[in-house]
Amino acid sequence: MPFKIIASQCTSCSACEPECPNVAIREKGGTFVIDPKKCTECLGHFDEPQCVAVCPVDNTCVIDTSLPRYQAPA
């Protein structure tokens, strides 16, 4: 269940980027984005998702429920 960054809320402060144990976060077009293929929710690394814990804006790094696997089958 990968995380995503809500671009409209991201302040581009870059705090999350170096914290990600999987190097899943990078800058793209002025804000930061998470590569869903790399994000492991920090499982096995840390108790809490690092991007969530360090982000200054609440509810900006969130579980990406728009991915196909979360959608009800057609």
Binding site residues, another protein, CB under 8 A: 11-15, 17-19, 46-48, 50, 53-54, 56-57
The one-letter amino acid code at 15 reads: A
The option from ligand SF4, another protein, none interacting with 22 (CB < 5 to 8 A, set by class) reads ligand SF4
Give the whole-angstrom CA distance, residue 36 versus residue 13: 20
The option from ligand SF4, another protein, none interacting with 3 (CB < 5 to 8 A, set by class) reads ligand SF4
Location of structure tokens 């269940």: 1
DSSP category for residue 10: -
The option from another protein, ligand SF4, none interacting with 53 (CB < 5 to 8 A, set by class) reads another protein
Location of structure tokens 């609440």: 58
